[in-house]
Structure 1
Amino acid sequence: MTSVLVTGGAGFVGSHIVDEYVDAGYDVTVVDNLTDQVHDDEPDYLNDDAEYVWGDVRDRELMTDLLRDADVLNHQASAVGVGQSMYEIEKYVDVNTLATARILDVVVNEGIDLEKMVVASSMSIYGEGVYRCPDCDARRHPSLRSGDQMARGKWEHVCEDCGTDLEPLPTPESKPRDSTSIYAITKKDQEEMMLSIGRAYDIPTVALRYFNIYGSRQALDNPYTGVCAIFSSRIKNDNPPLVFEDGEQTRDFIHVSDVARANRLAVESDAENVAVNVGTGDPKTITGIAETLIDLYGKGDDLAPEIANDYRQGDIRHCYADTELASEALGFEAEVGFEEGMRELVEWGREQEAEDRFEEAHAELEEKGLVGED
């Protein structure tokens, strides 16, 4: 039986990956430090058929012991949160970049024999997505919008040649990367280090560039996590979701069960030494997300999204996945429809306690000068 070591396997995404592997007949070991920002205690959804080791991936001796018994390394452990990464820089580099470097140093120098490695990467490494100028009929890869543009409330990118508003296109893996946060830089580090060592030591390696993941087991109390969880905690506490800019920015939302399946397919496919988008290719506006959640929680008569018309430093406007390579390399296509997936999230969320800590997190961003007004 193939043995898989899943780092961060007690978390939101990692735990679903563990379930996917267990259901497929793998022998699964999890290492997780149950970080306080995500977990109050051991979660009640842990899989009884997996082995759990409570420890830190930065512990070299522990990781050496665990890797010696593994056939596959699935590296999910990371500090997450774009905004928080911009003022907890050392923490993010330590937990993401340096921890991954230490794991790979163990693999290379401690006689570890792995059949495959899979690493969680992120769409954040792209920065902005791909665009097209409708007048010039040309592709554009804009960088971040300037502070002056944002302060004027001019949210859309414009063509550098003719000034026409650009139209977003699906973002392929070949798009030049423009990491615009410390979090994104560390995810790029993780991806590049894993792929580099995989190539050098003939270990087939796949980096999965996750787009915006949502679904059950998201930490609703964590105000630094995904927008669906943040909005859910606001709505459950009868507070309106706060939407930055004009709310028309788009993202690619993919259900966590599809992400888990992509991880299994990455192990079972012949794919190696490749980075692959994991998304739906179907963009949704942030306002649309807020409205859908309000409706599903049954609070449409009492709440509406609050359009802030302010902005966060480093935020992008549009990015959604080109899914062609995922289909070709992994045989993967997202199966959970948006409405079905959001209902699953809300049904789970109704049963959860959720302290709304958004104002606290927002105040931290303002204090650090990371929020601006138009």
Structure 2
Amino acid sequence: MATLKSVAKEAGVGITTVSRFLNNDSTLMIADKTKVRISNAVTKLNYIPNASARALKAGKTSTFGLIIPDFNNPVYSQIITGIEEVLYDRGYHLLVASTREGSSKKSYLNLVTEGRVDGLLIASTFLEDNEIEKLELLNVPYVLINRLSEKAKNYVVADDEQAAKKAVNFLIENGHKDIVHLSGKLDTDTGYRRLSGYKNALIENTLPINERLIVETAFTEESGYKKMKEIIQDNNSTFTAVFAANIRVAFGAMVAIRDSGLEIPKEVSMVGFHDIQLSSITYPPLTTVKISLDEMGRKAANMLLQLINKEEGLNKIMILESELIIRKSVRSIIDKKGNTKCVHI
């Protein structure tokens, strides 16, 4: 079996350099050609970290790692529920770790290289293609959840673009033409795909895209509140509805709207993305695009188990559909004659 030492010798670098590279050490400064030499050496020698190799061979850990960006996001609690339903029935445990939203620290590969888990479920917001390449390089079983990467071969995601279109089309059907989009982080694939859905809905309904109404936020209530306040205070922005591409952002925006003396849905209609239990008890109850998050967790856990067991005929790509949960946060502004009422903010 190849060792770290033999990989280092083959690549012509030190053992520490190989270890830091495989563990995605962000402070490691080496040339791209050196990275290629290390990668080629790992592939040629079929290197698997010793602790991980022993664990996978003996099946000793019976543990999966789940990587999420933020413990405060209620979306992940539903995903975890679905994962646990599958794993506990199969005698597996779940180790959950957070990369912290927006952090450059990528230490989760240590879970594998130190032999603490048999495979990884990854829902990290800020996912880089080179991280996926390293997982492939180390033959680590993994499944992305609610995330995409051009390099990924195994993932369970929502059809975010179609889900966003569904939300915006519903607002348009109710007469809304000037729709604010609180997008979330646009350097994430989820934020980008939901923005694409928002824009495509407008285009397909022959409505103009007003870039002033597209506002990037963090995935937090605080950011939703702050950005919504700024939009309301901008005298050059007129709108009748808001589509928030994240449930936490939607909650923050709703508070900002009320704090500004406006009423939902009388003066501003609101749709959020993801349907969690709190969505039905907000004031007013929030209309949302629902993705079955527990089902997403179940499918991802089953896929990872199948990958580890090397089952044939495995579907490695799963895309979940959405449904619109209509509550009381959207008001029709079309009168009996079919004309749009003037209620612009």
Structure number with higher helix proportion: 2
Compute the TM-score of the two structures, normalised by the length of structure 2. Answer: 0.38
Compute the TM-score of the two structures, normalised by the length of structure 1. Answer: 0.36
Instruction: Mark the structure with the bigger radius of gyration.
Output: 2
